[in-house]
Each structure stands twice: as structure tokens, then as C-alpha cells.
Amino acid sequence: MATNLHFVLVPLMQQGHMIPMVDIARILAQRGAIVTIITTPVNANRFKPSISRAIEDKLKIQVLELQLPLAQVGLPEGFESFDLLPSADLHIKLFAAMDMLEEPTENLLRGLTPPPSCIISDNLFPWTTDVARRLGISRLVFYGPGCFTYLCLHIVMNTNVLDEMVSDSETFVLPGIFDEIKLTKAQAGSWGKRDTEAMVDMFRRMDEAEKGADGIVVNSFQELEPKYVEELEKVIDKKVWCIGPVSLRNRSLLDIAERGNKAGINEHDCLKWLDNKESGSVIFVCLGSMSSVCNEQIFELGLGLESSNVPFIWCIRRTTEESERWLSGYEERVKDRGLIVRGWAPQVLILSHSAIGGFVTHCGWNSTLEGVSAGLPMVTWPHFADQFLNERFIIDVLKIGVSIGMEEVVAVGDQDKFGVLVKKDDIKASVESIMDKEEEGEVRRKRARELGKMAKRAMEEGGSSHLNTTTMIQDIIEQLGYN
């Protein structure tokens, strides 16, 4: 490899996008490239320990910080990430602040030595295509979700399939897809809502920027969705590089435990608890960094887990005084078979433990892929954005999931408007179903184990994702005219 190959990574300010981008930075640096990550101070602080360890390992990674002009868009200081915003209504303000980073980013890149060779940036930074063009380098678009989900989104946003439907709750079969995928209008359209002029303009610019980009980088692997990788390449007329699951790049206990925020439990205590449980007997419950549920739904979830008699680890992202009062009595009742983690959980570490037999997930793409990589069947509980499409991928395409029965789209901050959407009996039934050792459950479990093995092979030397990373790097070298 050319010794001065220099990748610049610009991740979206949100945990689910930043975590895989930091993993990609390490993957590229392990191949000998120089990597610069550009983000904001609050976000840089979140993955500082991981980057520090990478530098100690002699990897050439640096983080450069830019200040978001939050005051100019009407956001309080410190609100530098989507998962820190209390309401989805504020997202457009953060997008506006992100747009103002174009000039400072270009100025920063022009001062780098050696000069940048390629920008890999989230698709929500359309201006990075223009910056790359002015610098005479490549821009690769990083997709948050997988190829199946992105193909579905492409169909929804570039055809009139939703226009003919009056009711948000009307079910339809998505056209142009290899598998039969049934969704409601609200579920299909909850990502990329174009309900304001500003959002319409942003998606138009994203589409144009993608057409001008040199390829797509996806955290997925060829064997997981082969037909959809091929079809996505055809539809967008771009090379699609599947280089994941990037979470499998992490080898050390600390790197696995500290992906994202500092965990709400010591990783050794967590492992010690799991070590005392039978193989495949525990279910892990985690609804992601952005999804929140109201107090009443927390109580209902707790009662459903309690009545299932299945040992569990339950990660609760946010609590209130009321929910803490309820949890104090609850924890005492379930102390022999239930462990509650408040805040951030070391998810990959937990999922990879032999005691875990199933995963209740919000169906964010990182969690979906981490569940697949661990070889686990999943209970699906989507809330918004691409999560309902990922649910259909888990259940209808991979056939390793059971739906908990969530149908309503609940945007960030809207959880209290809806109350209880999933009853304790449905929670109990779905948990028992996914942990079932009888014929149907065993078929799911076997399929999940096979996918987990495929995921690991893809990341090994000679595997599909390892080879894709090699050819992607080679492609950038050739475009630059390096020897």
C-alpha cells in the first residue's frame, strides 16, 4: 500500500453511526493507512479511550474537532449529537448546524499532511462530495443501514408507492423486492420524512451528492444479503463495498466493552453474572441509544420478563424518579435471575457470551448486525426510522426473528403520547417463543448460528469483507495514480 494513503472519516453525530465509523478507522489503519476522524468535542470525548488504545497500538489515527455553530441554529451548547436531543423536532436544527461545517472542514483538510486521499462520510453530509471534488479526491458514502434496508428506502423515496395510500396504518407489499415485505405506510415512510421544505431540500441534496460520489461503504457482509447487494449496485449504479460486520474488528475486552459511551456496569461484573448462568439460557433486552419508552411501558416490559421465567439482562437507557421507585422493588423480586443495567450496556460483550440465547432489540442496524454476528435469534421491537425495515429483514429475509407486535411509529421524545403499546402477555409470549428449544425455535437458532459463523468468516483474512476492504483501498490508490 502507498505509505501516504490518508482517509478522512466524517461520521454523523449519533452513536449508531459513530461507533461503526470508529471501527472502520481502525480497520483502515491496521492496513497501514493514515486516518483522520473529524467530529465535534462532545462526540470526540465519547470514543477517546478507544482511539487512545489504537494510538498505543501504533495505529495512525487522529481526531480533529470542529465546533458546531449551535447558538446560530437555536440549540443549547452541548447538544452535539442526535441522541442528546430531547425531541425529533430539533433534528432539523442539528442538520442546519452540520451544513455550516463545510467551509471549516475544507480549511482543515487543506492543511493536512500528507494531504487527504479519500473522504468517507455519512450520507447526511451531502456537501462532502463538493469538498472532495474541490480537493481532487474520492468521496465514498457511508450507509448506516444494510443493503436490503437501503434498497427499500430507495424505492419508498424515489417512487410514488406511498402517494396512493390514504391511511398511515394501511398495509401494502413493497414492490421491487425479492422477498414479500409487508409494511404500513407509516412504517415505510418514517425514515426520510419530507414534511418540511428544509427536509425536502436536504434529501434532494443528499440524492445529488450520492450520484456524484465514487462508491458506497456498508457495514454488512456479502453472504448476509447477496441478492440485495447486487440489486443495490444496479439501482444506484455505484460500487457497493460491504466491509462488515465491523464490530468483529474489536479483539480486546476493553475495545469490546467500551464501544460508544462508558458502560453503566463494570464489564467484569457483567461477565461474572453471566458465567453463573447455563449456556443459551439468558435473554438480553436493549432498545438502543435513541429509543425511549414511557414509565408505564417500562413497567409492562418488566412484568412480561418476570412472568416469562427466563433469566435476563435488561438495559434501561433512561429512568425517572417514578420508574426508579418501581424498579427498586422489582429488582428485589427478580434478583436471582434478572440483571438491570442503567444507561449504556457493553452490548457486544454481552451478546458474545455463551449464556445468551436470545436478544430483544429495537432493530437499529448496528444491533441487528451485532445480534447476527453473535449467532442469536431476535425478538424485534422497532420504534422509528429504518427499524421497521430491519425488522422485516430479520423476520422475512433471514428468518431468525419473532415480532413483539409493535406497529406504531414512535418518534424520539413522543413516547409519553402513546403509553403502553406492547402488553406484558405479548412480551412474555415472544420471549418464550425465541428461547423455545422445540422444532420451530431450534430451526431459527440453527439458522442464526450459521449466519454468525458466516459473519466471522467474512472478516477473517480471505473472507468477503476482508477482500472488499482490500479492493476498496486498491481502487482509491489507482484513482490517485499512486504506484
What's the pLDDT at 237?
Answer: 94
Of the two residues 437 and 183, the one the predictor is more confident about is 183
What is residue 483's predicted lDDT score, i.e. its pLDDT? 43
- pLDDT score of 312: 97
261 has pLDDT over 60 = no
Contacts of 429 (CB under 8 A, 6+ apart): none
pLDDT of residue 254: 57
Residue 193 binned pLDDT confidence (cut-offs 50, 70, 90)? low
In percent, the amount of the chain with pLDDT more than 70 equals 94
Q: Which of 83-92's residues contact partners 24+ apart within 8 Å by CB, and which partners?
A: 83/14, 83/15, 83/16, 83/289, 83/290, 84/42, 85/412, 85/413, 86/412, 86/413, 87/412, 87/413, 87/414, 88/384, 88/411, 88/412, 88/413, 88/414, 89/413, 91/412, 92/196, 92/198, 92/199
What pLDDT score was predicted for residue 268?
80
Q: Is the pLDDT of residue 251 over 80?
A: no
403 pLDDT tier (thresholds 50, 70, 90): very high
Is residue 70 a contact partner of residue 96, using CB atoms and an 8 Å limit?
no
- pLDDT value of position 255: 57
Percent of the chain with pLDDT over 90: 70
| pLDDT at position 202 | 82
Contact status, residue 41 vs residue 156, Cβ threshold 8 Å? no
Residue 321 CA, chain-centre distance (Å), reads 30
Is residue 144 scored above 90 in pLDDT? no
User: Starting at the edge strand that comes first in sequence, how are the strands of the sheet with 6-10 ordered?
Assistant: 61-65, 34-39, 6-10, 118-122, 138-143, 215-218, 240-242
For 417-444, give the DSSP string: HH---S-HHHHHHHHHHHT--SHHHHHH
pLDDT in tens, 146-164: 999 999 988 988 888 888 7
Average pLDDT, the chain: 91
Asked whether the predicted pLDDT for residue 320 surpasses 80, the reply is yes
pLDDT in tens, 9-62: 999 998 889 999 999 999 999 999 999 999 999 999 988 888 888 889 899 999
pLDDT surpasses 50 at 283 = yes
Is the per-residue pLDDT at 166 higher than 60?
A: yes
- Structural domains present in the chain: 6-249+457-480 (3.40.50.2000), 262-456 (3.40.50.2000)
DSSP state of 89: G
**Mean pLDDT (whole number) for 442-468:** 97
Q: Which of 320, 354, 368, 314 is nearest to 145 (CA)?
A: 368
Q: What is the pLDDT of residues 334-377, one digit of tens each?
A: 998 999 998 878 899 999 999 999 999 999 999 999 999 999 99
Res 292: pLDDT: 74
Residue 380 in grid coordinates = 424485534
Helix 439-459 vs helix 365-373: angle between axes, to the nearest 10 degrees?
100
